[in-house]
Structure 1
Amino acid sequence: MIARRSLIALTALGLAAAVAPAQADYPERPVTYIIPYNPGGESDVTARFQEQHFKGITGQDVVIQYKPGAGGATAWAQLNGFEPDGYTIMNVNFPHAILQPAMKDVGYQTEDVAPAYIFHYTPDAIVVRADSPYQTLQDLIDDATANPGTVTFGGSGTNSANHLAAVRFDQMTGAKTTYIPFKGSAPAMAAVLGGQIKAAMTYTTQGIKAGDQVRVLAVATPERIEAYPDVPTFNELGFDFVGGAYRGVTLPKDAPQEVRQRLSDIIGEINAVPEFRQQLIDNGYVPVDIPTGEIDQWLADRKADYAGGIEQLRASN
């Protein structure tokens, strides 16, 4: 019996020795980084920003792949089918990954895609064409109040950060706008530039890309941002509204805690690189730092914050 116990103990030690180095040294080979959208969007752009720094910190490449569909749900529903060894990681967006399963069956629950790190958010912004009659946010509100439903807001998909922002906007202002979902923020902006819609409830990043072709009426940040020093915040204009798309990196939920922590540390190190941080700011993103140990509370806070918006979305569908 003693010999058998010794054999079991030695076997367990051997297995631990085989597993521990792989976790401690993670990553030891290239990591696949899945973007749940088409190339060129905010999730892809920031992953490309991270790419070189990931290699510098770990010595390993990240191989970016795309699995677009259903506003991210196609990829997130597949996340936990990958090996939980840390060599497949995935971009995840909020409030998308909270709103989608709250609204309908999308093949996953928010708890299935708990991120290892949240590294920035892209503030919501209202953008109109440069020759729009709306010189200020109040001009748009006045039109949407006087002519209910005629002010069209384009945005990135249904049950997205943009959709939630449009619902909140109507709730805050008493206006009545019409939200039109597009397959991404870039197509929504193209519709603004083409005159098919009057405005976009989009992201600061899209306004920067469009340059002097557009006018930004307000941004959903606590304070004015460096990219738009002359654009007021919603708060300045009397509306309590801060929001946008929070982006993070996640991995299958059964991944060892050591690997989850190591990935969190890597993304945190990237976020601390001054060049990377400035690159985010210059392109309209707001860096944030939510590591793995703070994710549960952060998600609980987000769910509470979005609860009223979810009820409004349900009522509008």
Structure 2
Amino acid sequence: MKLMAILAGAVFALGTVSAAQAQDYPSKPVNYIIPFNAGGESDIAARLQQPVFEKLTGQPMVVQYMAGAGGAQAWSQMNGMEADGYTIMGTNLPHIILQPMAQDVGYKTDDIANVYFFQYTPDAIIVPKDSQFKTLKDLIDYAKQNPGLVTFSGSGTNSANDVAKARFDKLAEVTTTYIPFSGTSPATAAVLGSQVLAGFSYTTAAINQGDQLRVLAVAADERVPSFPDVPTFKELGYDMVGGAYRGIAVPKATPDDVKKKLSDVLDKINHDPDFIKKMEDGGFVLINVPFDQVPDFMAKREKEYEEAAKVMGIAKK
């Protein structure tokens, strides 16, 4: 009985500490780990979140980098980090679903405790400004007449670009060839240098190239403000919406009330007018998926990516 009383008291004490943590959170600087190199979309978004976080909470947000293995190096280590809400990490879809599905990367999808998804960069088909393809129809017609000869550059294997190419081939009933590069920049350079006929990229990358590129279509529900004259795939008859989704996760042992408090802060950031404008100007599309909606969001994405994985020849482990 004494032991039971001690255990009950310990559980109560832990609950009290957890509640206090959440009430005071954040009361010190938060370390925000980006699992990629500086300068990419994840980093750009974090840098835009940073001042709004500090304005809302009065605490610094310190952006750090842990690049390697397409993000897997950081994600495989996350659950060994301090689980108090002061270490947070960027996450990407489809990476955290397809990576462990394709091979042993040191973590499973269920190991990642996402607390909020806040944006995605829509997939976009890009071609050089002097390309023979003026419209998406031009490219599809050529691909049907020349199976396998349309080459798409893209950012890595099992990435959002890789998934988009597989979905596009299925929807358009064409056969094209995907050539993976080590990142968005070299994949875009391959398009600019005519090493490939086209590229699967993101709206964010296309913006940076100005009039050097032509965007044929974007995978968004509505036209992206930064490309008002570019049609969506849906407008052109192809039900294709998606890209690289980005969120924030914490070590799995972080108390749920702290996760919820962090989610609430991130939601306020996502509704900040200045933040919204800067993100949209940069080609990002904002989404609001708070902590309590993450499980349903992930379940939907997993189903989509499992279907894409079949087309891509990835066997579920």
Letter in 2 for 1:24: Q
Q: Which amino acid aligns with 1:268?
A: D
1:170 is aligned to 169
Q: Which amino acid aligns with 2:134?
A: Q
**Distance change in 2, residues 1:261/1:193 (3 Å):** same
Q: Measure how far apart 1:247 and its partner are.
A: 0.6
User: Conserved in 1, the CA contact under 8 Å of 2:126 and 2:215?
Assistant: yes
Contact 1:114–1:295, Cα closer than 8 Å, also in 2? no
Match for residue 70 of structure 1?
A: 69
Aligned partner of 2:51 in structure 1 is: 52
Equivalent position of 1:140 in the other structure = 139
Could you say if the C-alpha distance between residues 13 and 297 of structure 1 is closer, same or farther in structure 2, counting changes exceeding 3 Å? closer
Cα offset for 1:6?
Answer: 8.1
Other-structure match for 2:261: 262
Residue by residue, what CA displacement relative to the aligned partner does 1:186-245 show, whole Å, maximum 9, x if unpaired? 221111112222211010111111111100000011121211111111111111111111
Higher mean Cα deviation, 222-231 or 45-54?
222-231
Answer yes or no: is the 8 Å Cα contact 1:277–1:287 preserved in 2.
yes
Q: Which residue of 2 aligns with 1:126?
A: 125
RMSD after superposition: 2.0
Counterparts in 2 of 1:162 and 1:8: CA distance versus 1, 3 Å = closer
How far, CA to CA, are the matches of 2:96 and 2:11 in structure 1? 38
Paired residues of 1:205 and 1:283 also in contact (CA < 8 A): yes
* Change in CA separation of 1:223 and 1:18 when aligned onto 2, cut-off 3 Å: closer
> What are the Cα deviations for residues 30-67 of structure 1, in whole angstroms up to 9, with x where unaligned?
11111111111111100000000111111111111111
% of aligned pairs identical?
51
Q: Is 2:67 aligned against 1:99?
A: no
C-alpha deviation, 1:149, in angstroms: 2.1
Tell me, yes or no, if the aligned pair for 2:18 and 2:255 is still in contact at 8 Å.
no
Asked if 2 retains the 8 angstrom alpha-carbon contact of 1:112 and 1:253, the reply is yes
1:144 shift after superposition: 2.0
2:133 & 2:184 partners in 1: Cα distance? 21
Kindly tell me: are residues 6 and 98 of structure 1, through their superposed partners in 2, closer, same or farther at Cα, counting changes over 3 Å? closer
Q: Tell me, what secondary structure is at the counterpart of 2:313?
A: helix
Which residue in 1 is equivalent to 2:40? 41
Matched residue, 1:281: 280
Q: Are the equivalent residues in 2 in contact too, given 1:86–1:255 (CA < 8 A)?
A: yes
Partner of 2:252: 253
Q: Sort the Cα spacing of 1:24 and 1:173 in 2 relative to 1 into closer, same or farther, 3 A.
A: same
**Aligned partner of 1:106: which letter?**
V
Distance 1:90 1:7, change over 3 A: closer
Q: Distance in 2 between matches of 1:7 and 1:224?
A: 60
How many residues of Structure 1 are paired with residues of Structure 2 in the alignment? 315
> SS state of the match for residue 224, structure 1?
coil
Cα offset, 1:13, TM superposition: 6.1
Aligned-partner Cα distance in 1 for 2:179–2:82? 38
Deviation at 1:292, TM superposition (A): 0.3
What residue is the counterpart of 2:210 in the other structure? 211
Deviation at 1:145, TM superposition (A): 2.1
Distance 1:12 1:229, change over 3 A: closer
Structure 1 Cα separation of the partners of residues 221 and 14 of structure 2? 50
- Asked if 1:234 is matched to 2:233, the reply is yes
Question: CA shift at 1:148, angstroms?
Answer: 2.1
Asked whether 1:81 is paired with 2:80, we answer: yes
CA distances 1:80-127 after superposition (whole Å, capped 9, x unpaired): 111111111000011211111122221111111131000011100001
For structure 1, list consecutive stretches of 5 or more residues without a partner in the other structure: none
How far apart are the structure 2 equivalents of 1:218 and 1:194? 20
Q: Which one-letter code corresponds to 1:225 in the other structure?
A: V
* C-alpha deviation, 1:142, in angstroms: 2.0
**Structure 1 residues 104-113 or 289-298, which shifts more?**
104-113
C-alpha distance 26-150 of structure 1, shift in aligned 2 (>3 A): same
Q: 1:41 is aligned with what amino acid?
A: G
- The TM-score, its normalising length taken from structure 2, stands at 0.94
SS in 2 for 1:92: strand
Q: CA deviation at 1:17?
A: 4.9
1:172 maps to a residue whose letter is: L
Q: Does 1:113 align with 2:97?
A: no
Moved more, 17-26 or 235-244: 17-26
